[in-house]
Amino acid sequence: MQRLDLKQLLSQKLSPQQIQFIKLLQIPTAELEARIKEEMEVNPALEEGPDEDNDRSEEDNDSNDDFDTDDSLDEDFNDAGSDDDSPGLEEDYRQDNDIDLTDYIHDDEIAGYKMQGDGPGEEEDRETPVAGTSSLTDALIDQLGFLDLDEKQQAIGMQLVGSIDSDGYIRRDLNAIANDLAFSQNIETSIEEIEAVLREIQSFDPPGIAARDLQECLLLQLERRNQDENTEIAEQIILECFDEFTKKHYSKIQSKLDIEDDELKDALNIILHLNPKPGGNSSGLAKAQYIVPDFIITNDNGILSITLNARNAPDLRVSRTYTEMFDAYDKGAKKDKKLKEAVTFVKQKLDSAKWFIDAIKQRQNTLLRTMESIVRFQHDFFLEGDETKLRPMILKDIATEIDMDISTVSRVANSKWVQTEFGVYPLKYFFSEGIATDSGEDASSREVKQILKEEIEKEDKHKPLSDDKLEKILNEKGYNIARRTVAKYREQLNIPVARLRKEL
């Protein structure tokens, strides 16, 4: 049985303008210019150049108010953009009930309590513009064209080249490649025929390309070297003692191959100079990444100055032509239906342009307030560039100080960069958890990692320090840290375990 019920619900909603502001806040400087050009293309009432209305009379300003919408765009930003008592961005959103929050923001966009920026490989959420270059696949196809292959072999070669991963390996099973040829191109072939073409491709540049595993990759490179005694021993190590080699069980290798220390060292030196990822050095994979800093910090005799990248503060204005057009249309639009439609259209474009300019200004304000707070927290680091001077800092610390929501700070920190006298850093680099010390204060995990790295760099490589020994060293220095935390930080620094750091 169906029933109609009347219910009252309380929910958080976002207006379209607020959603657009979130997107503007998140995009980096490198993409802002394109976003502004996109807006100008769809809104002719928005122009580049300094605002000509700043010096207009009060009467002119009053006339402009005629096209303000009932939504009152100013109200969306006045609170969020004030320099003093600005509530969090999400606090403002509760005032509007137009669009459901869940329709626009996914779970992975909701900020966490802490900035997870310490681990490896976490800075790759977005690729910056890259230089145009020929790809690895193109280079291999060019080389394939120089082989004297029949039509069937050419098809097999193209299939193999297309199966090569970005690091230069073929990890797809040859049986699967045979099936692909049969189903997609109606070509019946055998594993032997595929392997014959594969051997030809493995002779291409770069050396080691199209290997099916690391062992085959290293052997392909060794085969191209001048064959001397050391190269032959290196091939023996890879062929007969590959497992022992990967685990650095050098004594077992010596015993199995019956070789002396010097012979082992020379052979290992050859192997260690081979390329484990041949595809990584090809021109097609040499990604020229360009980082455009959002902030520039300069140190003038101990006084830190923060400058917002000029590309974050473009000169935009509302078109005077459209404003005058609105005034002219509005005077004659009382009865004429077509004129009323024209007034509505022009008014919409003027409102949209005014909102976009306000949103850009609010973006600048939010960025600067966040960066100023970070500099206050990490003042000692920005003076000297010493990682050990970094203080523990989480998103909540910044959000509390500038009186904004944690998610707002997260959106800024996750996509912005700052240029200092010591290099260019992502903002999330400055966020880290605290480690208790004997003095009763908290030390930044960045500081602990730096000390851990220094201890490993100066260790005796013949007897590298285990995680237990590293734990004791850090404890002696006053850092109350457990062995499992040492292991976690070591892995985040991409440093292998002691056994794999051992050298002869």
Q: What is the pLDDT of residue 369?
A: 92
- For residue 424, the cross-strand partners are 419
pLDDT of 95: 38
Taking the C-alpha atoms of residue 4 and residue 26, their distance in angstroms, rounded to an integer, is: 42
pLDDT in tens, the chain (504 residues): 677 878 777 766 666 667 777 788 888 777 888 888 888 888 888 887 776 555 444 444 444 444 343 333 333 434 433 344 433 434 433 333 333 333 333 333 333 334 444 444 443 344 434 444 457 888 899 899 888 889 999 999 999 999 998 889 999 999 999 998 988 888 999 999 999 999 999 999 889 999 999 999 999 999 988 888 889 999 999 999 999 888 888 889 988 899 888 888 888 889 988 999 888 754 444 444 567 888 999 998 889 999 888 777 778 888 888 777 777 766 665 566 777 777 788 788 888 888 888 888 888 899 999 999 999 989 988 998 887 788 888 888 899 999 988 888 888 888 889 999 888 899 888 887 767 666 656 667 777 888 888 889 888 888 888 989 998 988 888 888 888 888 888 888 888 888 878 776
What 8-state DSSP symbol labels residue 449? H
Please tell me the predicted confidence (pLDDT) of residue 391. 84
Q: Would the pTM of this model clear 0.85, i.e. be above it? A: no
Instruction: Report pLDDT for 336.
Output: 67
Residue 280: C-alpha distances to residues 20, 53, 128, 131, 165 (Å)? 38, 54, 18, 16, 10
Q: Would you state the pLDDT for residue 84?
A: 40
Q: State residue 179's pLDDT score.
A: 92
Q: Are 438 and 480 in contact (CB under 8 A)?
A: yes
Query: Tell me, what's the pLDDT at 118?
Result: 41
Given CATH 1.10.10.60, say whether it is the number of domain 433-504.
yes
Contact between 361 and 36 (Cβ < 8 Å): no
Question: What number of residues does the chain have?
Answer: 504
Question: What letter would DSSP give residue 67?
Answer: G
Q: What is the largest CA-CA distance in the chain?
A: 104
Rounded CA separation 432/407 (Å):
17
pLDDT at 5: 76
**Dist CA 455 CA 461 (whole Å):** 12
Query: Taking the domains of the chain in order of start, what are their residue ranges?
Result: 11-129+290-431, 136-283, 433-504
- H-only helix segments in 82-227: 89-93, 136-144, 151-162, 174-185, 191-201, 214-223
